[in-house]
């Protein structure tokens, strides 16, 4: 019989993003579960050697950092998200330090290197093991908290439920683990010949008839919003997904909130697909 667990927040993945989300949710008072495919240490984040950027130089500022990211994206990035990223970067560094990450210092400050696309020196490092140090610090913080880590339990199913989500994971011995959670931070699942990625929120959801036009260019769910948005984001997501032989869909969650799902074929399935570039059609 499947083991059943329940959490306020379920985090999928033990990379830097999953661990940071899990630690933050736990510190905010949520009951947090974290499932991951392999060992808790297994992730790409731990392999990152280059470093992490934040504006600390005397000649630098979050605004200059945002400008560099904006230019590097050839002015295609979401400017409001870029400004959040660069504005919060210094605090994120301090937050990581509170979790034991010791960035390399020199002359009384951080040692800052310059990296591609940056007009100022703003790359912080922990020697040449930055990713390892960040994940080790966050992993220690989570495993010593009230949160529950479940390694070797890949997510294989995720369904919306009345009060959130029901996630199904497969233990190494083949047993199923069924987890009920109010929120799932990151989701990935195998679906047919491919992998489905879902991102959800707890906002007002999409208007009733929006799904049919969601991927049309310049189509916006909320025409009245005042903070910008060209209506191109979902169209670009759809274009890239289809170019890789996949498909995208939007829907509302039972009980509130929006879900955007992308299905992408695995390598074997992709090999069967007709020239993916041809699927771009007239766009
Ligand atoms: C060699 C290398 C060097 C890099 N250097 C840098 C650098 O210097 N600076 C920089 O900013 N970026 C660098 N990057 C990129 C950076 O590492 C990634 O952008 C970042 O780690 C992504 O973090 P993440 O938490 O989203 O994903 P990951 O760290 O990849 O974590 C994903 C997690 O999800 C788990 N998972 C996957 N599928 C499932 C499933 N079905 N069920 C449960 N769990 C699942 C995995 O096991 C893993 O724990 C580098 C990447 C590599 C590979």
**Ligand 1 atom with minimal separation from the 17 CA:** 25
Atom of ligand 1 nearest to the CA of 190: 41
Which residue lies with its CA nearest to atom 11 of ligand 1? 52
Rounded distance from Cα 16 to ligand 1 centre (Å) = 7
In this structure, the answer to whether residues 152 and 251 fall within a common structural domain is: yes
Q: What is the domain range of residue 71?
A: 50-128
Residue 167 lies in a domain: yes
249 has which bridge partners? 261
State the Cα–Cα distance between residues 166 and 168, nearest whole angstrom: 7
The total number of structural domains in the chain stands at 2
Same domain assignment for residues 9 and 116? no
Check whether residue 25 and residue 78 sit in a common domain: no
Task: Please report the pLDDT score of residue 254 as a whole number.
Answer: 66
In a domain, 133, yes or no: no
Q: Which residue has the tokens 């297994």?
A: 42
Exposed/middle/buried for 8, CB within 10 Å: 0-12, 13-18, 19+? middle
pLDDT of 195 reads 66
Together in a domain, 69 and 190: no
Measuring from each residue's beta carbon to the nearest atom of ligand 1, which residues come in under 6 Å?
12-18, 35-38, 42-45, 47-52, 131, 154-155, 188
User: pLDDT digits over 85-102, tens only?
Assistant: 999 999 999 999 999 999
Taking the C-alpha atoms of 27, 28, 29 and 32 in order, what is their torsion angle to the nearest 10 degrees?
-70
Statement to judge: residues 193 and 221 lie in one domain: yes
Asked if residue 162 and residue 82 are part of one domain, the reply reads no
Q: Which tens digit of pLDDT belongs to each residue from 229-261? A: 566 677 777 777 777 777 888 888 766 777 787
Nearest Cα neighbor of 194 from 241, 159, 239, 236 is 241
The pLDDT value recorded for residue 245 is: 75
- Residue 14 C-alpha to ligand 1 middle, in angstroms? 9
Q: What is the pLDDT of residue 10?
A: 94
Beta bridge mates, 34: 11, 149
Q: Which of 45, 126, 184 to mutate to test the pocket of ligand 1 (most atoms within 8 A of CB)?
A: 45
Nearest CA to ligand 1 atom 14: 48
**Measured distance CA(153)–CA(3) in Å, rounded:** 12
Ligand 1 centroid distance, CA of 46 (Å): 7
What is the structure's pLDDT at 278? 31
Does residue 28 sit in helix, strand or coil?
coil
**Are 162 and 237 within one domain?**
yes
Low-confidence ranges of the chain (pLDDT < 50): 187-190, 224-227, 268-283
Distance CA 133, CA 15 (A): 12
Residue nearest to atom 18 of ligand 1 (CA): 45
- pLDDT score recorded for residue 113: 96
Atom of ligand 1 nearest to the CA of 38: 47
Q: How far apart, in whole angstroms, are the C-alpha atoms of residue 214 and residue 236?
A: 11
């Amino acid at each position: 019989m499947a083991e059943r667990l329940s959490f306020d927040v379920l985090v999928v993945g033990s990379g830097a993003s999953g661990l940071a989300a899990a630690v933050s949710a736990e510190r905010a008072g949520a009951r947090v579960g974290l499932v991951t495919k392999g060992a808790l240490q297994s992730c790409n984040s731990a392999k990152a050697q280059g470093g992490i950027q934040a504006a600390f130089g005397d000649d630098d500022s979050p605004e200059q950092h945002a400008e560099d990211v904006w230019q590097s994206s050839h002015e295609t990035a979401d400017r409001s998200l870029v400004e959040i990223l660069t504005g919060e970067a210094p605090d994120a560094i301090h937050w990581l330090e509170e979790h034991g990450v010791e960035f390399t210092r020199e002359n009384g400050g951080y040692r800052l290197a310059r990296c591609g696309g940056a007009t100022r020196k703003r790359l912080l490092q922990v020697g040449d093991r930055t990713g390892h140090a960040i994940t080790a610090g966050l992993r220690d913080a989570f495993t010593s908290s009230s949160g529950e880590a479940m390694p070797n339990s890949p997510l294989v199913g995720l369904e919306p439920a009345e009060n959130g989500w029901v996630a199904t994971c497969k233990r190494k011995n083949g047993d199923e683990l069924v987890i009920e959670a109010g929120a799932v931070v990151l989701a990935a699942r195998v679906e047919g010949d491919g992998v489905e990625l879902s991102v959800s929120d707890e906002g007002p959801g999409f208007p009733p008839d929006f799904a049919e036009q969601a991927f049309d260019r310049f189509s916006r769910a909320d025409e009245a919003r005042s903070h910008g948005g060209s209506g191109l984001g979902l169209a670009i997501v759809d274009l890239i997904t289809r170019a890789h032989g996949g498909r995208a869909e939007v829907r509302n969650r039972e009980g509130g909130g929006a879900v955007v799902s992308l299905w992408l074929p695995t390598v074997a399935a992709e090999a069967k697909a007709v020239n993916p570039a041809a699927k771009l059609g007239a766009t």
